Structure 1
Amino acid sequence: MKKIFATFLLAACAGGAWAGGMESLESFVKTVKSGRADFTQTVTAPPRDGQPGRAKTSTGTFEFQRPGKFKFDYQKPFAQSIVADGKTLWLYDADLNQVTQRAQSQALGSTPAALIAAAPDLRALQADFALEGAPERDGLQWVKATPKTKDGQLQSVQVGFEGDALAALEILDSFGQRSVLKFSKVQVNPALGAGAFAFKAPAGADVIKQ
């Protein structure tokens, strides 16, 4: 009987900890309408022939304004930008001097960006993702989000919170590639200018519409 009670108690405690991630996500979506942070992203290829996958690290800054506006500015090792202005998603590669333009409504539904910036509330997120609390680790509370549509390139995303503050994203794509973003110097609800998410293709850049 003691063993059964102990097992039940551990399960209850774990369930409470896992629920904390969902509570953090709900609070984040409800109360954080804009944000700014630095990020470090590490992308690891899937292992091949018994060898571990190679990892590549990049750094930059991130801003968002709910609903549907965000900007990733990659600074190292290569300059790139991903900008969503509410209607159009722009991808700019400085080395290639190339811009890719897509309709935002067709590009964001079941993506990590939707978890951070696109959805106006938790119900909207649940329309595109199956959400569940995940075990606490690295001092963070986690939520696992699995896209409900199976035809995309995203397998799952885990969102890590420190309290109600966004701290990390772990993204697994359908090819087995893992991308981990860690956020620092997070600012909650900063005032962002009207032109913060405006994008204009640089002079001479090739613009590809998809």
Structure 2
Amino acid sequence: MIRPFLLALAALPLAAAAVIGAGPVAAPAAAEAADPLAQVSAHLRAVNTMTAAFAQTDRNGKTLTGTLTLKRPGRIRFEYQKGVPLLVVGDGKALTMIDYQVKQVSRWPIGDSPLSVLLDPSRDLSRFAKVVPSGDPKLLLVQARDPKRPEFGTITIAFSRSPSAPAGLMLRGWTIVDAQNNRSTIELDSQAFNMPVADGAFRWTDPRPRGPRG
């Protein structure tokens, strides 16, 4: 149940998103504007840190909220709402899911999750991603899947076009469908880009009697 849970950290959000604390950002170069994947890569490279509120809805319609903190490369934290005893942290090398209720910790390489697309801006998107129709000229959808690792699922990342956002794109969220065709959604809101984020934000407390980890 642990791995499907993480693979289900997914969304195709269409709600309005506000930029907080994002300074002036240059418009994308003409070549990037003409090539959506190049523009997405430029956005990923331009965002060193991001914080946002998220709402995650699972396949059964249950919604949890929380705060997302990201620091590239490789670091991410899903802090769930009060009363939800779960935490997901990426420390640059591995993703760790901590269930404080049952005192269980699961850990595996970031590359084993579709989230690696968002966490590693150096990856060549043209090798494993494509633009898919959105039906809305203001919305850009990019679908990524590793054909050699179908068990990791498919991620569809949603961006809205926003001149004030990094490289002209606002990350709205993503959808992950796992190998069992399970789908879950996360919507992002109140994004803040390139604000100071301490490395300590990606530490976590091990519920087993072994002290702090990070």
**1:131 Cα deviation (Å)?**
0.8
* Unpaired segments ≥5 residues, structure 1: 1-17, 45-53
Q: TM-score, normalised on structure 1? A: 0.71
Partner of 1:48: none
Whether the 8 Å contact between 2:152 and 2:178 is mirrored in structure 1 is yes
Q: How many residue pairs are counted as aligned between the two chains?
A: 171
Partner of 1:147: 146
Whether the 8 Å contact between 2:93 and 2:110 is mirrored in structure 1 is no
Partner of 2:4: none
**1:94 Cα deviation (Å)?**
2.0
Partner of 2:58: 43
Whether the 8 Å contact between 1:99 and 1:205 is mirrored in structure 2 is no
Whether the 8 Å contact between 2:54 and 2:67 is mirrored in structure 1 is yes
Partner of 1:25: 40
Partner of 2:199: 194
Partner of 2:111: 109
Q: TM-score, normalised on structure 2? A: 0.70
Q: Which has the higher contact order (CA 8 A, sep 6+)?
A: 2
**1:195 Cα deviation (Å)?**
0.9
**1:176 Cα deviation (Å)?**
1.0
**Whose Rg is larger?**
1
Are residues 1:120 and 2:121 paired? yes
Partner deviation per Cα, 1:32-63 (whole Å, 9 max, x = no partner): 1111111111121xxxxxxxxx3222111111
Partner of 1:73: 79
3-state DSSP of counterpart to 2:202: coil
Return the alpha-carbon distance in structure 2 between the equivalents of residues 120 and 111 of structure 1.
15
Q: Go from structure 1 to structure 2 and tell me whether the alpha carbon gap of 1:172 and 1:97 turns closer, same or farther (over 3 Å shift).
A: same
Between structures 1 and 2, the one with greater strand share: 1
Partner of 2:133: 135
Whether the 8 Å contact between 1:21 and 1:134 is mirrored in structure 2 is no
Instruction: Compute the RMSD of aligned alpha carbons.
Output: 2.6
